[in-house]
Structure 1
C-alpha cells in the first residue's frame, strides 16, 4: 500500500483520496491550535503561497494527542486557522498519529521515515513529512524544524 491508496476526511467532512495529490510534492504536518509551535502555520502558509501552481501542497492534519493542544472540533479549527493565520492550504479532520487508532496515513508515513534512533512514534505537534512527486517519503522533520528551514528541500523536489 502506498500513500495514494489512502483516504482521509477533509475538515469539511468530505472524504478525500490522497491520489488527488499524485504528481505533487507534499509537506504533511500534524498541527494544533494551542501549541508553542502553532505560529508555524504562518510559515506553512507562506510555503503554500510561494509554491502555488508549482505542484506542491501543504496538508494539515489536526491532532489532539499532545497536551490537549487541539481541543476544538473541525469547525473551530477551521475558523482558528482562517482567522488567525489566513490558512488556505488543505486541512483535514482531526486524527490520531500514534496509538491504536493511528490514521492509516500516519501508519504509512511513520513506517517510511522513522524518527531519532529509529523510533516511529510522533513526538509532538508539527512533525513534518516531505513526500516527493512519486509518493515516496523523502524526509521526516521534528517540531523544531521550521517551514523556512524546509524550504530548500522542497525547492529541490519541485
Structure 2
C-alpha cells in the first residue's frame, strides 16, 4: 500500500510539472542550476527531458551506499516516466465495501516498454536523517521521439 501511495504521489508530481514549457532546458549540458529549477518536456522534435525522484532504503550503513541507492531509484523513476509518456499505462482499481461503507481500495499501474539512450544529465542528492533523497534530470535524444510518443499514445486511445 505504501508503494502504491508513492507511485500515485510521483504521478501527481509528474503531471503537475510535465505540462510546463522548455524554460531552463538550455542549461542542462553546462550543469547549471538545480534539478528542481529545470523543467520537463519535449525540446523540439528529437529530445525528451524527464525528472526522477528516489530515496535510499532504510538500513544502509555508508553514505555512499545510500546515495547510490537513491540515485538508482531516481533513475528508474525517470525511466518509468518516459515509458508512461510514450507508451501509456494500464490502470487497474479495486474497492471493498463493508456494511455500505468503503472498507478499502487499491489502484495498480502496469507499465511495459523498452528504452534506450536515456542519460542522467544532472543529479542532486540530499541527506535527510538516516536516508538520502535524490533527484535526477534525464535526457533522451532520439530522432523523432516526440512524434513516436504521440503516435503511440494515439494508438492507445483507439
Instruction: Return the TM-score normalized by structure 1.
Output: 0.33
Q: Give 1 or 2 for the bigger CA radius of gyration.
A: 2
TM-score if structure 2 supplies the norm length? 0.33
| Structure (1/2) with the larger strand percentage | 2
